[in-house]
Amino acid sequence: MSKQVKFTIDNKEIHAAEGANLLQVAKDNDIAIPHLCYHKKLSPTGACRLCIVKVEGQRGMVASCAIQAKEGMQVTAFDDELEEARKYLLDYLLSEHNEDHDGTYDDEFRELIFRYGLDKKEQRRFPSIWKELNYPMDETSPVLSYDAAKCIKCFRCIKACDEVQGKNVLSFTNRGITSYIIGGFDKWDESECDGCGECIQLCPTGAIVEKPHRDELRLDQKTSKVQTTCPYCGVGCQLELMVRDGKVVRSNGVEGVSPNDGRLCIKGRFGYDYVNHPDRLTTPLIKKDGKFVEASWEEALDLVARKFSEIKKHHGRKSLAGYASAKTTNEDNYLFMKLVRMVFGNNNVDYCTRLCHASTVTAMLRSLGDGAGSNSIEDYETSDCMLVTGNNMIETHPVTATFVKHAAQRNGAKIIIIDPKWTPLVKDAHIWLQPKLGTDVALLNGMLRVIVNEDLIDRDFIKNRVEGGMKSYDELKTLVEKYTPDYVEEVTGVPAHLMQEAARIYAQARQPLIATGMGYSQQVTGTHNVFCLINMMLITGQIGRDGAGLNPPRGQNNVQGVSDVGASPFTYPGYISVEDDENRRKVAKIWGVHEDELDGEKGLSTVEIMQAAYEKEIKGMYIMGENPMLTDPNLNHTEEAIRKLDFLVVQDIFHTETTPFADVILPATAFAESEGTYVNSDRRVLRVRKAVDPPGQARQDWEIVAEIARRMGKPIGNYKNESDIWDEIAQTAPIFAGISFNRLEHHGIQWPCPDKDHPGTATLFKERFNTPNGLGKLHPVDYAEQSEKASEEYPLILNTGRILYQYHSSTMSRRNKALNDFANESYVLINPADASKQGISDKQKVKVISPRGKIENITIKISEEVLPGELFMPFHYAEAPVNKLTRDELDPYSKIAPFKLSAVRIEK
């Protein structure tokens, strides 16, 4: 804890940490020293000079933003001389400033103009000259307007872009009084600006303002503000939604609250328009004679309950299955899981984690006893080494990436990237290892061999915290001995010296974090990939302390939470096995049913459910907020399976690629219309709050689920609200026992939280792992070649993934103009050597064909981002359904499909 000092400001006694910023200390003590260029998230600039104070013993007036708190200081913040100087400075700034104000933005400068009486022109000394300076206006960005005539050259936008977001896109051009901000080398739309809007949020004058809904918003008119959690990736950014006339019209980041401290990406700031989109489902729909017709809730729910009941009666309880949703709340998913287990009578419930991070969770559960990230997102900022594997963090988890970039750019941390495809984080990386697709186990075993042979292990950690101690280590040592640098280079294509250096840096780091993504998990060897990472972590002792561990960032807003609350074919809430009799008795008691009513056999996973539907073993399905006709592997097979179902219910907020196959479609609520909770990537339970009413007759998911259960004759609970549901979740899952809606009112809490006085757990495994014996377990695994390889007929290997501007199957993201303006077309990346070999030119349209299907009219992008022999495509676009090309072969441990490796060919 920092040493505390005592001093005075205007004779008021102040206590603060020694070295604290004086201006911030004054603000924290309600002493309103005026300022414009200062912001607590930025380094002090001292450009506006408005925060001048007098300090006894120092000459003249000094900028308080540039002074540190010291013992015994005597500070004068306000006297006639200081106030007159501030008025003079404001007057001077005002002379170059267009003071027109349309009421669409907060204007700190304007507030000071009124505070110092300069709204009255007779009080001004300097004539207005801004029109004569011919300041430019830049409207080229899809998401913001820049008016140089309102810019006071405070540097806040430049520093926000550089110091907070780590992008360094903005700068000044020209000199002196004619200088102004530019993006890149000139216009905003020609720069690398990705639309995150940090500059907008920190601009004090309205020089940079959002474009969307500017014509609808007036801050002096009735506007409500609601804090909630972002509905996109798994960072869990806290948003403040501004609502006017029942419509979300603006989104800002909430400062001073984890995990984002005000930071947002373009989706968090501008991706909310889908909530009010005219395509929203507003009434239940029933398919009659091949066409959907509107129906009442009574008719739709009665039909759903009757059909599911008939299927169960005639074909048995195993004939029904459900897909839960990572886009909906914990409360929605908990009741959905209860419906499948209590009413359907089986454990055939799963969701998209089986298609993204199942391998990571499986390996972590087997090795560490827990499948969640071990550290906090903010820990990246103080890490000295970050091993980023198969994780395009800047595009998929942009706010987490800001902490990573800060560590590298400001603190000298070393980033090691393992990825066959170039990602933007490579620009900040110390080492980029670019292995051929599917060779990760060989690469990691090579790194393990370096650590072993150079004795970079932590013997005490191995002896005290690893099952089998040095004996287990010796088994691993024996296995990795054959992975010599030369052999690994031959298999992976990674230069041996880079592989060796990466191993040394990680093993010797003080606070290393591993951030492993879907590039590692979405393979048939995905579990083996993560086993290797864990082996490396355990033998070096790089886990179980603040700033050291393994952290898989979740791809969707509530991927973590859905697993936590038990929407899994294998586990009840809190990760307790469905096959354990004692677990079943405990859960049955809480749910008020006899244990025999709960199935004691594990259920089918996501892909297995579709395979069972294809075999006509699954007759009825209930899909909540998922879109398997775009996201499941081997889509042609998936379509055949869905067509064989006797009855399909889809519950969503839009028509999707899956809804045409439904018999009943039920309209649900979007995030801004819902109450409840999500759990983010660092196990932080976060509140979701209703900001607007749902359209038409749409209902919240849990209410629909509960009503179906009631009509099927097995009510799953009597809940007044979402808080009641959460309380039952906390009772069922010990990891949540101390968390309640009241405790979540102002900030999130990280599980495990065993009681109401517990603050939550920022770092896992400090004293023991969550295995039965408290010890971590090594899993030595060998490299094996992929079953699908390039061939004469299919000479290229396709990799798939995500991009910044779209999300999952894009049913939400493509209904936002701001996001589509940046990226609204699919493409396939190809290495220049392959393009030349095939006679293909940039921007040409091609077909991509695999043994399972083909997609047509895809735009070529020639790029060295991919290796020769490899391609990359994003999976978001319905007109380019890349999963028609992927295969449904499964990792034997996690049941995940290999989205990252498909043999294909390209035709003109």
Torsion sign, CA atoms 175, 181, 184, 187: negative
Measuring CA to CA, which residue among 344, 260, 330, 459 is closest to residue 709? Answer: 344
Q: Please identify which residue in the block is written with the tokens 């038409």.
A: 696
**Is the CB of residue 414 less than 8 Å from the CB of residue 548?**
no
pLDDT greater than 80 at residue 828:
yes
Name the average pLDDT for the chain.
Answer: 95
Q: Please identify which residue in the block is written with the tokens 């303002």.
A: 209
Q: Which tens digits make up the pLDDT trace of 766-780?
A: 999 999 999 999 999
Q: Which tens digits make up the pLDDT trace of 81-120?
A: 999 999 999 999 999 999 999 999 999 999 999 999 999 9
Measuring CA to CA, which residue among 330, 325, 349 is closest to residue 339? Answer: 349
Task: Transcribe 682-707 into DSSP letters.
Answer: TSEEEEE---SPPSTT-B-HHHHHHH
Cα Rg of the chain, angstroms: 29
**Is the CB of residue 294 less than 8 Å from the CB of residue 671?**
no
Query: Average of pLDDT values for 139-156?
Result: 96
What are 578-587's contacts with CB under 8 Å, separation 24+? 578/347, 578/602, 578/603, 587/732
**What DSSP element (H or E) covers 110?**
helix 108-115
Angle between helical axes of 722-732 and 330-338 (0-180°, round to 10) = 70
pLDDT of residue 888: 85
pLDDT greater than 80 at residue 650:
yes
Query: How confident is residue 155, by pLDDT bands cut at 50, 70 and 90?
Result: very high
In this structure, the chain runs to a length of 908
What token pair was written down for 488? 């690994």
Q: How far, in Å, CA of 515 to CA of 375, rounded?
A: 10
Q: How far, in Å, CA of 887 to CA of 883, rounded?
A: 8
pLDDT of residue 889: 84
Q: How far, in Å, CA of 677 to CA of 128, rounded?
A: 52
Using CB atoms within 10 A of its CB, is residue 291 exposed (0-12), middle (13-18) or buried (19+)? exposed
Q: How far, in Å, CA of 374 to CA of 830, rounded?
A: 37
Task: Transcribe 153-220 into DSSP letters.
Answer: --SHHHHIIIIISS---EEEES-GGG-EEEETTB-GGGS------HHHHH-SSSSEEE-TTTTT--TT
pLDDT of residue 97: 93
pLDDT of residue 451: 98
Q: How far, in Å, CA of 113 to CA of 92, rounded?
A: 11
Measuring CA to CA, which residue among 401, 406, 489 is closest to residue 447? Answer: 489
pLDDT greater than 90 at residue 564:
yes
Q: Which tens digits make up the pLDDT trace of 829-883?
A: 999 999 999 999 999 999 999 999 999 999 999 999 999 999 999 999 999 999 9
Compute how many other C-beta atoms are within 10 angstroms of the C-beta atom of residue 564: 27
Q: What CATH number should be reported for the domain whose range is 796-907? A: 2.40.40.20
pLDDT of residue 896: 81
Q: How far, in Å, CA of 663 to CA of 151, rounded?
A: 57
- Helix H segments across 567-700? 581-591, 606-614, 628-631, 635-643
Fold of 223-274: N-terminal domain of TfIIb (2.20.25)
Q: Which tens digits make up the pLDDT trace of 597-623?
A: 999 999 999 989 999 999 999 999 999
Compute how many other C-beta atoms are within 10 angstroms of the C-beta atom of residue 239: 26
pLDDT of residue 611: 94
Q: Please identify which residue in the block is written with the tokens 């003071």.
A: 99
Q: How far, in Å, CA of 153 to CA of 171, rounded?
A: 10
Q: Which tens digits make up the pLDDT trace of 704-735?
A: 999 999 999 999 999 999 999 999 999 999 99
Q: Which tens digits make up the pLDDT trace of 309-345?
A: 999 999 999 999 999 999 999 999 999 999 999 999 9
Q: What does the DSSP 8-state code read for residue 372?
A: S
Task: Transcribe 385-445 into DSSP letters.
Answer: EEEEES--HHHHSHHHHHHHHHHHHHH--EEEEE-SS--GGGGG-SEEE-PPTT-HHHHHH
Share of the chain above pLDDT 70, in %: 100
Q: How far, in Å, CA of 485 to CA of 503, rounded?
A: 12
pLDDT of residue 1: 60
Q: Which tens digits make up the pLDDT trace of 376-410?
A: 999 999 999 999 999 999 999 999 999 999 999 99
pLDDT greater than 80 at residue 200:
yes
Q: Which tens digits make up the pLDDT trace of 46-60?
A: 999 999 999 999 999
Share of the chain above pLDDT 90, in %: 92
**Same fold: 223-274 with 358-551:** no
What token pair was written down for 438? 């599917």
Strands 414-418 and 385-389: parallel
| Vertex 15 angle, CA 9 and 20, to 5° | 85
Query: How confident is residue 121, by pLDDT bands cut at 50, 70 and 90?
Result: confident
Task: Transcribe 743-780 into DSSP letters.
Answer: TTSSS-EESP--STT----SSS-SS--SSTTS-B----
**What DSSP element (H or E) covers 144?**
strand 144-147
- Is 253 in a helix, a strand, or coil? strand
Q: What are phi and psi of 501, to 5 degrees?
A: -65, -40
Alpha-carbon distance values, 842 to 783, 834, 839, 849 (Å): 36, 12, 10, 19
Domain ranges of the chain: 223-274, 285-356+557-750, 358-551, 796-907
Q: How far, in Å, CA of 191 to CA of 194, rounded?
A: 9
Compute how many other C-beta atoms are within 10 angstroms of the C-beta atom of residue 126: 12
Query: Average of pLDDT values for 470-497?
Result: 97
pLDDT of residue 890: 82
Q: How far, in Å, CA of 159 to CA of 45, rounded?
A: 9
Fold of 358-551: Dimethylsulfoxide Reductase; domain 2 (3.40.228)
Q: What are the b/e assignments for 195-216, b being 16+ CB within 10 Å?
A: bbbbbbbbbbbbbbbbbbbbee
Using CB atoms within 10 A of its CB, is residue 801 exposed (0-12), middle (13-18) or buried (19+)? buried
**Is the CB of residue 133 less than 8 Å from the CB of residue 98?**
no
Q: How far, in Å, CA of 141 to CA of 303, rounded?
A: 49
Query: How confident is residue 523, by pLDDT bands cut at 50, 70 and 90?
Result: confident
Domain made up of 285-356+557-750: CATH architecture: 3-Layer(aba) Sandwich (3.40)
Q: Please identify which residue in the block is written with the tokens 């984890």.
A: 258
**Is the CB of residue 522 less than 8 Å from the CB of residue 886?**
no
